[in-house]
Structure 1
Amino acid sequence: MSCSENTNATPGDPLEALDDAVAAAAFRRLVRHLRHRHDAQNLDLMILSGFCRNCLADWIRDAGAPLDKDNAREVIHGMPAAEWKTRFHREATQDQLDRMAESLKKNAPAP
């Protein structure tokens, strides 16, 4: 899986004017929502939106969180990622894998 690469700030985007504390609160609410919705599989999230829990873990590291990959995923999952996978992960169908491949094409940076 590969996360969306199209995350550049756009000049004049009102998102950039959003207070960091407000943005952080919204991010925490999103993460808590995903912790509650274990039925929303990472693959389903990737198909529909081009990102998943693991992407969020990568993004907090990219933003400067002093965590390794496993610790960042634990922050997002609310438990070690291996435990989350054992408890909640379902194997992908071929249809899901095909749809994810199409979704990932949309994540590629524009030429």
Structure 2
Amino acid sequence: MAIGEKTQTELEAAVFRRLVAHLQGRTDVQNIDLMNLAGFCRNCLSNWLKDAADERGVALSKDESREAVYGMPYETWKALHQSEATPEKLEAMKKVHPGH
């Protein structure tokens, strides 16, 4: 890519914001489905956001990073949108991501 580092960072930030907005709008997509299909979920994104803040010495709590990704407090999102995972989905997750 023949663009400057600042422009690249701005583009990457715009893509991240668009991904987060997309996931906030797709509350029908469960985190376990994301993990099983893509290998990451909303919690992963919030953890990566917190990791990036920590690396730069920026104060950001786990709850704050989750709220940034979910668009609301995590417990509220879970109560409104998270359904019980089926045994099949849980088994698939164990195979694909044994550490989670």
TM-score, length basis structure 2: 0.84
Query: What does the per-residue CA deviation read over 1:3-53, in whole Å, with 9 as the maximum and x for residues that have no partner?
Result: xxxxxxxxxxxxxx7700000000000000000000010010011011100
What residue number does 1:87 align with?
A: 80
Q: Percent identity?
A: 47
CA shift, 1:76, in A, is 0.3
Runs of 4+ aligned structure 1 residues displaced above 3 Å come to none
Note if 1:70 corresponds to 2:59. Answer: no
Q: Report the count of equivalent residues.
A: 90
AA aligned opposite 2:13:
A
Extract unaligned runs of 5+ from structure 1.
Answer: 1-16
In the TM superposition, 1:1-111 aligns within 5 A as 19-64=8-53, 65-105=58-98
Q: What is the Cα-based RMSD across aligned positions, in Å?
A: 1.6
- Structure number having the greater helix percentage: 2
Query: What does the per-residue CA deviation read over 1:67-91, in whole Å, with 9 as the maximum and x for residues that have no partner?
Result: 1111110000000000000000000
TM-score, length basis structure 1: 0.76
Extract unaligned runs of 5+ from structure 2.
Answer: none
AA aligned opposite 2:51:
D
Higher relative contact order (CA 8 A, sep 6+): 1
